[in-house]
Amino acid sequence: MALSSESVDQGAYTSVLKLVSAPPITSVLVANRGEIARRVFRTARSLGMSCVAVHSTADALAPYVAEADVAVHLPGTAPGDTYLRGELVIEAALKAGADAVHPGYGFLSENAAFARAVEAAGLAWIGPPAEAIETMGSKIESKKLMAAAGVPVLSQLVPDEVTEAELPVLVKASAGGGGRGMRVVHYLEELAGEIEAASAEALSAFGDGTVFCEPYLATGRHIEVQVLADQHGTIWAVGERECSIQRRHQKVVEEAPSPLVERLPWMRDELFEAARKAAAAIRYLGAGTVEFLADDSGRFYFLEMNTRLQVEHPVTESVTGLDLVQLQFEIARGHELPAEPPAAVGHSIEVRLYAEDPANNWQPQTGTLHRFHFPTPTTSFASPVHRAYVRRSGDDVPPLLRTQESAPWVRVDSGVESGSEVSPYYDAMLAKVIVWGATREVAAARLAAELGRAEIHGVRTNRDLLVRVLRHRAFLDGETDTAFFERHGLEVLAEPLADKSTEELAALAAALADAAHRRTTAKVQGRLPSGWRNLASQPQRKTFAAGDSTYEVSYRLTRDGLLADGDVTLVEASPDQVVLEVGGVRRRFAVAAYDGLVCVDSASGSVALTPVDRFPDPSQQVAAGSLLAPMPGTVIRVGVSVGDQVKQGQPLLWLEAMKMEHTISAPADGILTELAVAAGQQVEVGVVLAVVQVEPAVQEAVGQVEENA
């Protein structure tokens, strides 16, 4: 079917779907939370449906709950007590008067028993058949089925029979996904322990501890194909996506089309054919994704099929103009797809913005998100630009001349907003930021600039890492694979965009903004400079910490202007903005002060400053060797006892928070003199977990190094 010569509009294809049977859906419950709940709400409302939310105690004030027409409380905070309780979700749907359930992704979205229970309760299931979910739910059985259907697969290894020659291998959970229950093993003696750990994690996350092994391709490309299948035998392969840049086997950057497939265009037809075979083999219905691992030569192998909507579905929507959620609803109601899907136009890139510290083992962050703002006019949960971005009067018109960008090209799908609390109970993703461009280079440049200018205050994020990746020469050349961070050095990519000189200027700007605030709020003599004296004796001083650095700002405001270190001139200062001229270059700093935190944004990067108290409270100090909880979470295992001799880097205990397992290790050789927690215990950020008394020889060596320095 040909596209309109006037424009590609979101929903253009769904408007011409042939209606076969249409049981009415007037109200839908989304069995999920956060940004995916908001995403489904957006489309459901456009189709005239009312929206029902379910929420845990921790999510009571979340934006998606406020946006729902009706919300039902699921008491508790842990997913196992709330979002994974299928019977409670169905009860909520019936109580709220919903006639359909959309599972989103994660949680119960690939639970065949839940899909059956939804339909048994008389509710419409906006997802694939339970049989298809069940078949693809076991990675072991699904690979056998795919091999029989003629889809290329990697050989499967029996964990107990792996040999030295077959290393390295990847231990994988048979159920679930998202990187949980996965371990890379390079040495045979480590295999048994890693299998046990992977099985335990899989059992905790998915209720199934079955694991298997397969050959590990360290530098593979992760390519996936979006499929849509209706009840009338039509199967669409709606373009491919590349999701090779990953951390902890979880995707970080996703794009459509794939740069590898663009370089090897013959590969696209083969991928699409394999994806259609996979969908046909299980009589699939609805939206799904067939995932492959490919090498640079174009050879590819089936990994798994996600029988649900993918996190990265917006990039496919951006280049096709489709609303995949709308298509899910339409297919569930019996509509028939046209013979062919729309062709992709331009390039779209999505990044996952996480509340985490990449430089510190991707440690999740919690706290109040004071400000969350993107500067460019954006759309949320709908394809950017597609309202009128392409005129197709002829295929011979160059792509750059076809674009008519009368609508935003930035899309932000987020479950948070300014003022939201980032809790430790769920995934650390704050938002998906999606940009469309006529070319890949334009899309990457736009996305990097948009992220760099965003104001994200209150929690540390991976924003700077994402910007560095998008501007990296290897990324721009399409050299992306699953070892991207290892190859190009995570320690380099994770460095803040703001260098030390920018941090120093940010500290000065923060001090001047604070002085301006005190002047504007002073009840007497507010027009005099802060700290003004008739006979000045000392400069104003203020100290800030930024990461591991401390900056003592020393300045004086005189009749002749600012007196400070360096070639710096004050142009203007207000409580929320400071303009400095540095070496003849004018620089603007936006300053936002919160309780115990000052955030300074500029073109050179964002800096989070902590004011340093001149007279710290001694009671807040902790003993040397104390190991503090880096985040709120649950102690899931303890591997040592008081009195044990420990080695530097030795795992002592494990925390679970934000869907991840985190290891707390010994900071140095020593003796464990205190263990303040036990398995199963909930802990808050900053509490003492254990104390390691450093061995005297080590302490003496450290002291000698410091003395020599």
Q: How far is Cα 278 from Cα 290, in angstroms, rounded to an integer?
A: 7
Q: SS3 for 416-456, per residue?
A: CCCCCEECCCCCCEEEEEEEEECCHHHHHHHHHHHHHHCEE
Residue 519 annotated to the active site: no
- Comparing C-alpha atoms, which of 246, 312, 319, 233 is closest to residue 276? 233
344 by DSSP, 3-state: which? coil
Taking CA 490 as the corner, what is the angle to CA 484 and CA 491, rounded to the nearest 5 degrees? 155
DSSP letters along 486-506, please?
HHH-HHHHTS-SS-HHHHHHH
Q: What is the DSSP letter of 68?
A: S
Q: Using the CB atoms, write b or e for 620-652: b if 16+ within 10 Å.
A: eeeeebbbebbbbbbbbbbebeeebebeeebeb
The structure tokens 């190859």 sit at: 487
83, 529, 556, 557, 608 from 573: Cα distances, Å = 49, 11, 14, 11, 19
| Single-letter amino acid, residue 333 | R
Among the options 39, 180, 241, 308, which is catalytic?
A: 308
Give the strand pairing for 540-546 and 549-558.
antiparallel
Q: Phi/psi class of residue 107: alpha, beta or left (left: φ > 0; alpha: ψ in -120 to 50)?
A: left
> Would you say 513 and 498 are in contact if contact means Cβ atoms under 8 Å apart?
no
Measured distance CA(206)–CA(668) in Å, rounded:
35
Region at 277 (left for phi over 0; alpha for psi -120 to 50; beta for the rest):
alpha
Q: How far, in Å, are 68, 131, 284, 547 from residue 134 at the CA level?
A: 31, 5, 11, 47
H/E segment holding residue 267: helix 266-281
Q: Residues with catalytic annotation?
A: 308
